[in-house]
Amino acid sequence: MINKIRSIRSSTRKPNILVIGDLMIDHYITGSASRLSPEAPVPIVNVKNESFTLGGAGNVVQNLVALGAQVTVAGVIGNDTAGVQLIEILSNEGVQTHTIIKDESRPTTVKTRVLAGSHQLVRIDREITDPVSEAIADKLLKELVNYLEKADIVVLSDYNKGLFSSSFTQKLIQEATRYNKRVIIDPKGLNYEKYKGAYIIKPNRKELAEAAQLEKVDSLESLQHAAKIIFKQTGAVYLVVTLSEEGMLILSESGYKLLPVKATEVFDVTGAGDTVLATMAYFIAAGLTIEEAGELANHAAAIVIRQVGSATTTIDEIIQDMKNSTL
């Protein structure tokens, strides 16, 4: 397997991946809080640092770039300062942004977190999560046609911010299918029927239970039962269920494969789902099987959850992690 990955890394042809998703900015204000405000019983934060990073589908994009993919990203942002900032960060990563549409009627989603040391005091969200207008969705679809043709694989990163209405999601999947492109989806919400025709749907355990309308999914039997319900709704080829510290489960209509977790230490699971999604998309686009891609995604997840905050990993780090786990 390591030799396979090395040959993918040294290949001159990079996997070409189209990411369509909810784009947002993560804004962090960090400082110290040593006294309460005289105006209200709240801490006063003395700001030491402020940073802006990509959130939502942007985290999937950064994971793909770190692996060495050629990425085009599509989505809807506002015609505002945060939107300019988002395009700038993506362009600096070498990502194609021609398929990002500006919508005058909504702001770019910004999540501002105020932290004192490592303690989060408050989160402020600027966003509109109503469905994007049909006109904007049609404009985006029109822009995407050329890029669908060139993509090796299509990734939908749904954060429930209004982009993936049922009709738009179905039009997208149908258009991708017309070009024989496989679609991998990170789902949100309860309506999985809108993902009909996907190649892979990747929920976590909680999302799967909610979508299948089961109280809990805590055993292999209940996972298979929940998967059956989703397969019936969507006709997906595979379900990849992330199971936190237990690893991940790859399910098809005919069977399953459990991939135990590779992490020895867990510091922060933030963004690990995005890493799994990106790693699987990258290696499937590069020609590996879903089982091989899942194995590598497990190693990638193990690397990022040892770090604090959303992190990315590289092929070299995955190779190193594989070597370490066989010692």
Q: Rounded distance, CA 211 to CA 203, Å?
A: 9
- Residue for token pair 């396979």: 4
Query: Cα dihedral sign for 306, 261, 119, 310?
Result: positive
Q: Rounded distance, CA 63 to CA 105, Å?
A: 30
How far CA 258 is from CA of 184, 203, 266, 275, 298, in Å, comes to 19, 15, 20, 18, 11
Using an 8 Å Cβ cutoff, are 236 and 212 in contact? no
Q: DSSP letter at 128?
A: -
Using an 8 Å Cβ cutoff, are 23 and 58 in contact? yes
Superfamily of the domain at 1-23+55-99+129-325:
Ribokinase (3.40.1190.20)
Using an 8 Å Cβ cutoff, are 44 and 37 in contact? yes
Q: What are the sequence ranges of the domains in the chain?
A: 1-23+55-99+129-325
What is the phi/psi pair of residue 78, to 5°? Answer: -85, 165
113: CB partners within 8 A, 6+ apart: 26, 27, 28, 29, 120, 122, 123
Q: What is the pLDDT of residues 56-111, one digit of tens each?
A: 999 999 999 999 999 999 999 999 999 999 999 999 999 999 999 999 999 999 99
Active site residue 274: yes
Q: Dmax of the chain from CA atoms?
A: 64
Catalytic residue chosen out of the listed positions 26, 103, 186, 274: 274
Using an 8 Å Cβ cutoff, are 93 and 62 in contact? yes
Using an 8 Å Cβ cutoff, are 90 and 97 in contact? yes
pTM (global) more than 0.95: no
How many CA atoms are closer than 13 Å to the CA of 45, on its beta-carbon side? 18
SS3 call for 176 = helix
What is the phi/psi pair of residue 102, to 5°? Answer: -95, 130
In total, the chain counts a number of residues equal to 327
From first to last of its 327 residues, the chain has per-residue pLDDT tens of: 888 888 888 888 899 999 999 999 999 999 999 999 999 999 999 999 999 999 999 999 999 999 999 999 999 999 999 999 999 999 999 999 999 999 999 999 999 999 998 899 999 999 999 999 999 999 999 999 989 999 999 999 999 999 999 999 999 999 999 999 999 999 999 999 999 999 999 999 999 999 999 988 989 999 999 999 999 999 999 999 988 777 889 999 999 999 887 656 665 566 788 999 999 999 999 999 999 999 999 889 888 877 766 678 899 888 888 888 776
Using an 8 Å Cβ cutoff, are 77 and 102 in contact? yes
How many CA atoms are closer than 13 Å to the CA of 274, on its beta-carbon side? 29
Q: What DSSP element (H or E) covers 49?
A: strand 43-56
Using an 8 Å Cβ cutoff, are 139 and 105 in contact? no
